[in-house]
Chain A
Amino acid sequence: MHTFYGYRRQQGLPGVRNWVAIIPSVFCANTVVRRIAQQVVGAVELTHPVGCSQVGLDLELTAKALKGVGRHPNFYGVVVVGLGCERFQAQELADSIAAMGKPVEMVVIQEEGDTQKAIDKGVRLALKLVEQAAKQQKEEFPLSELCLGLKCGGTDSTSGIAANPALGWVTDQIVAEGGSAMLTEVTELIGAEHVLARRAVTPEVGQKILETVRNMENKLKVGTAHSDLQNRSALISPGNEDGGVTTVVEKALGGIHKGGTGPITGVLAYGEPIGEPGLYILDCPGHDGEAVTGLAASGCQVVVFTTGRGTPTGFPGVPVIKITGNTSTFERMKFNLDFNAGEIIDKGLSIPEVGAGLLQKVIETASGVPTKAEIGMNDELFCITRSYGG
């Protein structure tokens, strides 16, 4: 049985980091949030473009995303910064975080007066939280306390034969030891949903998997139906095609390998946390940022991101381990990538051999070794999903 070192929280899973998050309830507070984080080591900023003039499902998705990341196990505490007049109120976010037993403070720019006063108050509050966080010691936890987010992006044909199978091996190990994992990017499951539905623990879950993928496919059809938009209707990218992936079904079948071979326990809605441990499908679209944001909002402490073509991206406060099955990509981009699964192709190593190395990497990362994206302060992947009346 494997273990990792993490930080115990009042409720829920342990954190693998102990950051203080500075989170705006609305984009108008972004610069204040940034200036606070810049003045306090140990703070991370989670700026975003929403919170204003939203209604209905669109506003609800914003609320779910911000509450989900605000309550994330990797954050010791949070400073919420609001403007004062926004639709998604800072108080609602702060209350949701406090309900988890997580230390939270709030600054509202219009109440403080101006940005300088808000920054000053925010910095003092963040400093206090960082000092408290520093007193917390790590403890040892079994893998059953880990929830791994699974992602692929910049797919080429090595993704389906090396990187994703190696990650799938890791997923199987983690779930076998009582832990959890989440597969998402429902757009990337189109064509492989029947393969996933066969693995559902009950026929109801199987049906839910099929419905979730079909709903996404219908949304895409509606979105691309206009005759003027036919040149914008491709579900696979130029990078995928150059990399040898010809059809959306081929891409999906290669992608689902990262979910391993085990049973699928359920389908989660955006922002929904897991119940019992197991492998889940999370209903998020294929946009790299929206998918990783969904994984974080549902509580994944670590994300593994397979990439054939290479991507430098990361997420504020959540380690994103980047792995590729393409050795020449790894050689070119190793400044931004963490693990080369390409040895399956060019050295003939077996999937379990490389998978064992990747599991070691996941455990090391959880226990404190920073990823290239964390060292580089890459935070591109915090992207809240919008709903434009669809």
Chain B
Amino acid sequence: MLTALRIDPRDNVAVVLRNVQKGEEVLVNMKTGAVHLTAQSDIPFGHKIAVSCLLVSEPIIKYGEEIGNAKTPIQSGEWVHLQNIYCERGREN
């Protein structure tokens, strides 16, 4: 049973479909077959998990488009949210 959904083949994050616990194996759908990740922390339902490693300022891709950039290096399986991504649009200057 899928635990995370990658919406577009270009995405580097997936959406977890239930609450995930630290250390749990997360199954993500991918066009070439399912991928197994290990959750690096607890991840709440609906939040994002990194599907691959990301460097600082690398774009985060969801829905096939850039939604923001990495604030810190991100490991695969890590929870991706306010603590490690930033977005230039809609920010005070």
Contacts and interface: CB of A to CB of B under 8 A. Distances in A.
Interface in A333-353: 345-346, 348
Interface string B16-52: 0100000000000000000000000000111110000
B85 A246 contact: yes
Interface in A176-222: 190-192, 195, 217, 220-221
Given A161-B15, A244-B47, A250 B92 contact: no
B47 A190 contact: no
Contacts of A192: 65
A244 B82 contact: no
B46 A157 contact: yes
Contacts of B89: 190-191, 217, 247-249
Interface residues of A, number: 34
Interface in B63-93: 63, 65-68, 80-82, 85-87, 89-93
Given A160-B63, A250-B63, 9 more contacts: A157-B47, A233-B92, A241-B81, A241-B82, A247-B87, A248-B90, A253-B63, A254-B63, A345-B5
Interface of B: 2, 5, 7, 15, 17, 44-48, 62-63, 65-68, 80-82, 85-87, 89-93
15 contacts: A158-B46, A161-B7, A195-B65, A224-B92, A225-B92, A233-B91, A235-B90, A241-B81, A246-B87, A247-B86, A248-B90, A253-B65, A326-B46, A345-B5, A345-B17
Interface of A: 156-158, 160-161, 190-192, 195, 217, 220-221, 224-225, 230, 233, 235-236, 241-244, 246-250, 253-254, 308, 326, 345-346, 348
